[in-house]
Amino acid sequence: MQSCLSPLLRGLLAAGLLAASHAGFALTVYTAGPAKLAQELAAGFEAQSGVKVEVFQGTTGKVMARLEAEAANPQADVVISASWDSAIDLDARGWLLPYESPNAAQVPALYKAPNYVAQGLSALAIAWNPASGTPRPTDWADLATAPFANLVNMPDPAQSGTALELLSGLANAQGDAAWQLFASLKDNGMNLAGANAQALNPVLQGAKAAVFGAVDYITYGAQAKGEQVEIIFPASGTVVAARPMMILKSSSRQDEAKQFIDYVLSDEGQQAVARTYLIPARADVEAKRPKLADIATLPPADAQERAGREALLQRFGALFERK
């Protein structure tokens, strides 16, 4: 049969088979930023294992939407999210492969489960421009005072999973007092400004004074580039956002996926995590910024708190007159 094919057709067929072979060989990782970390981990794992890594990088929302769109024909092997809730959701659906990496021994129990484990951690903070002419804030409520009128941005919790986690944590810990704070911030002109970078950029440019609920590692990265910004962890407490890694049960590359999780949790992988100003998941790897022990944190979310987040988002949207 092959002899009946033209040389051109045989060439195209061979190229197609080669491409399919290469696609099957690659380990596919879907990851929510930071992009530089994803690239560094992929390159480091390829150098160590010889396994090629294909990376799709986007927001957690985009990653989850792509997983949903591909549900009938899954393409990802490993998923790294910026939202612990996404791992809980995928696990509840039965999509995740049980795996406990031997390198996860030093990951605190709070940040690992049988089917997923943290890559690293971040905490939400106030990002403040000291050249803004406003007094240095020390707590969330300071951003609702007169000096900060119309000078505060917040990532939109409808677009930012970490912003929603902060709202939820504050509402769960403070009850009515949290809603009074949200109302005061609204009355003081706080602006909901899209995703995390959209909220931070005007502060770096001097158009705004502060971000309520800035992602700390993004802000530390800006600071390291010489931007005039300070990261302040509120005295009353903040939310820690763990970034879960998980292997899809549908993966045809399960052994390589396990090796990738091992690599991210290795000394080399966790040092790469630290270089992006995230807190490494492993407690025995040094961070390049304040550790969790140095930050006042709110209680971790339980199942009841997570179940109430959709209603909380609707209430918050109504407060800010979102349609």
For 15-143, strand residue ranges (E) read 27-32, 53-58, 78-80, 112-113, 116-128
Q: Are 78 and 263 in contact (CB under 8 A)?
A: no
For residue 26, which phi and psi values (nearest 5 degrees)?
Answer: -70, 145
Output the CA angle 225-227-230, nearest 5 degrees.
115
Q: Are 292 and 241 in contact (CB under 8 A)?
A: no
């677009």: which residue's tokens?
159
Alpha-carbon distance of 146 to 139, in angstroms, equals 15
Report helix, strand or coil for 145. coil
- Report CA Rg, the chain: 22
The number of residues in the chain equals: 323
- Which pairing describes strands 78-80 and 27-32: parallel, antiparallel, or unpaired? parallel
């080399």: which residue's tokens?
268
Q: Are 126 and 140 in contact (CB under 8 A)?
A: yes
Residue 217, marked binder: yes
Q: Residue 67 carries which side chain, given as an amino acid letter? A: L
Q: Which residues touch 290 (CB under 8 Å, ≥6 apart)? A: 233
Give the closest residue to 219 by CA, choosing from 227, 59, 271: 227
- Which residue ranges are tagged as binding site? 217
> Binding-site residues for Fe cation, please?
217
